[in-house]
Amino acid sequence: MSVCAACGADNRAVRKFCARCGAPLAIACPACGTANQPDELFCGDCGTALICAPPFPSSPETVPVSGERKHITVLFADVAGSMDLQEQLDPEVWAQIMGRFVAILAEGVRKYGGTVDKFTGDGIMALFGAPVAQEDHARRACHAAWHLTKTIGDYSEELRQKQGVELHVRLGLNSGEVVVGRVGDDVTLDPTALGHTVGLAQRMEGLAEPGKAYLTQYTARLVSGWFGLEDLGAMAVKGAREPLRVYALGKPSTSPPLFHGGGSLGVSPLVGRDRELAILENALDMALHGQAQVVGIIGDAGIGKSRLCEQFAAGATARGITVRRATGLSHAQAIPYLPVLEMLRGEFGITEVDSPAGAREKIAGALVGRDLAIEETLPLLFDFLEVADPDRPPPSVRGEVRMRSTLEILRRISRSSQAPLVLLLEDLHWFDAHSEAFFAELIPSLPGTTTLVLADFRPGFSASWMRHSYIVRFPSNHWARRRWTNFSGDSSERTRRWRRSASTSSTTRRAIPFSSRKWSGPWWRTGRWPASRGPTG
């Protein structure tokens, strides 16, 4: 307590003025007891500090770091040779270039669901999988990196032509665990990602050649089969005890790795799904007799929906039945009609290597060969498939009219063709709104054709066309009831022992999930646990 010399009132020790009379309170020196004025910092008799400053943290352990542990992919991007460019250019010119450069980077990161964490002076650091968790953060980051190499390349060409400036981007990616949160108690500091994962991503950026994106073996393992990867071999990386295998990012694959023979994911034989396959085969038989069917497979992520669909599609293809695909992508929900475009390109046999003129020839040839009177709608179809004919520009019509014209073409195609068709709608819950509306119009027109529509999606998703009576659905609780008592046809002693234990154990074995399928392939063949999975060091 502090006693006021003017009125004698007791005041709390932290008071500088009396709470009763307002007179200044003297501060007693902690060393000699001498009274000092409230605005004095040191004792006038002995020089002892009157106000004790809070202790400064002396070690990293005293700095509080509150955050959340996450598995994410970190992307670094910067300008190759930025110091040389800054020396050559006026600061205002450099600021303008960097403003546009960073805007392009930020737009590309956000397009695929990433978050720009910070500006690094001549580039950015971006996070995928934080602060919002993403199951496909590595693929999103690689899509963003591939997109940025192209868009920055276009910007570089523009700068070269207008200002004679050569601007090239370098990108580095790495995936792993980090802690995402704010460092210390300073509320002005934004949350960030901390951990060795961040440092390795920055090292990849430093190793990358101009115009390319490098990624570690940890990211490569997560995107193997989804992208072309050039193995650059093991490299000594500063900050890593062992050499890391480094990969250069290539273009995205046109189809998921499961459809490439399964080599990259080690796909094992499908077992325990005989009943489900029998239901699909029965639906296909009905469709072959002119009773179009729609089958929906509902299940949580990792339950094996895609695996079942692929097994069935492979069997249909082996019987000579055409299979067309439309795939929803989580990072592409903002791109209108992407699954529809995939389906139509498959219908007309258009590939990545086809030129616009070659694609137009394939489209016209397929339609003319079926004797369809759609000459007036060809320009619209060309434009919809992004291969517009410069000599025959499409008429200026609203998007609804364009969609109806395309739907009418597909209806004519389905009615004119007697060949059976399996239309596989994968990850329907990721379809954009425009594609949903497209298929909502197309599917009700299929009765009477030899078409089977097979759609897989997660619980909670629903569409208007699912209310029709000819639609069969596998609910998620149906998957949960299925027991897993047979793993493969392997005859090794270790596998036979495992089977016996599985059949006698009181624990129910569920259907093998997607995450387990990634490692099951080599094990069931050899009886040995694999030393590595996918691209590793």
The one-letter amino acid code at 462 reads: S
Q: How far is CA 535 from CA 245, 252, 256, in A?
A: 8, 16, 17
Judgement on whether residues 342 and 452 belong to the same structural domain of the protein:
yes
CATH number, domain at 417?
A: 3.40.50.300
Inside any domain, residue 493 = no
Q: At 103, is the pLDDT very low, low, confident or very high (cuts 50, 70, 90)? A: very high
Residue labelled with tokens 């003025």: 17
Judgement on whether residues 21 and 95 belong to the same structural domain of the protein:
no
Inside any domain, residue 330 = yes
Q: How many CB atoms lie within 10 A of CB 104?
A: 18
Give 294-337 pLDDT, tens digit per residue: 888 888 887 778 888 888 888 898 989 989 888 888 877 877 88
Q: What is the residue range of 185's domain?
A: 65-253
Inside any domain, residue 260 = no
The residue out of 223, 253, 283 marking a domain boundary is: 253
Judgement on whether residues 140 and 172 belong to the same structural domain of the protein:
yes
Judgement on whether residues 379 and 322 belong to the same structural domain of the protein:
yes
The residue out of 32, 54, 76 marking a domain boundary is: 54
Judgement on whether residues 352 and 452 belong to the same structural domain of the protein:
yes
Judgement on whether residues 314 and 176 belong to the same structural domain of the protein:
no
Inside any domain, residue 300 = yes
Residue 5: per-residue pLDDT: 64
pTM of structure: 0.61
Q: At 265, is the pLDDT very low, low, confident or very high (cuts 50, 70, 90)? A: very low
- Highest average pLDDT, of 36-40, 150-154, 509-513, comes from 150-154
The mean predicted confidence, pLDDT, of the chain is 77
Residue 512: per-residue pLDDT: 30
Return the higher-pLDDT residue of 260 and 278: 278
CATH number, domain at 249?
A: 3.30.70.1230
Inside any domain, residue 529 = no
| Three-state secondary structure string covering 193-218 | EECHHHHHHHHHHHHCCCCCEEEEHH
Judgement on whether residues 21 and 110 belong to the same structural domain of the protein:
no
Q: How far is CA 293 from CA 279, 284, 418, 422, in A?
A: 12, 7, 15, 10
CA–CA–CA angle 149, 155, 160 (5° rounding): 120
Judgement on whether residues 284 and 211 belong to the same structural domain of the protein:
no
Judgement on whether residues 43 and 181 belong to the same structural domain of the protein:
no
Inside any domain, residue 497 = no
Q: At 208, is the pLDDT very low, low, confident or very high (cuts 50, 70, 90)? A: very high
Give 335-371 pLDDT, tens digit per residue: 788 888 888 888 888 887 788 889 888 888 777 766 5
| Three-state secondary structure string covering 273-330 | CHHHHHHHHHHHHHHHCCCCEEEEEECCCCCCHHHHHHHHHHHHHHCCCEEEEEECCH
Residue 14: per-residue pLDDT: 66
The residue out of 481, 496, 518 marking a domain boundary is: 481
Residue 375: per-residue pLDDT: 65
Judgement on whether residues 2 and 81 belong to the same structural domain of the protein:
no
Statement: residue 180 has pLDDT above 60: yes
Inside any domain, residue 466 = yes
Judgement on whether residues 218 and 359 belong to the same structural domain of the protein:
no
Residue 435: per-residue pLDDT: 86
Statement: residue 537 has pLDDT above 50: no
CA–CA–CA angle 481, 485, 486 (5° rounding): 125
- Number of structural domains (the chain) is 3
Judgement on whether residues 77 and 138 belong to the same structural domain of the protein:
yes
Give 461-506 pLDDT, tens digit per residue: 887 777 665 566 665 455 444 433 333 334 344 444 444 444 443 3
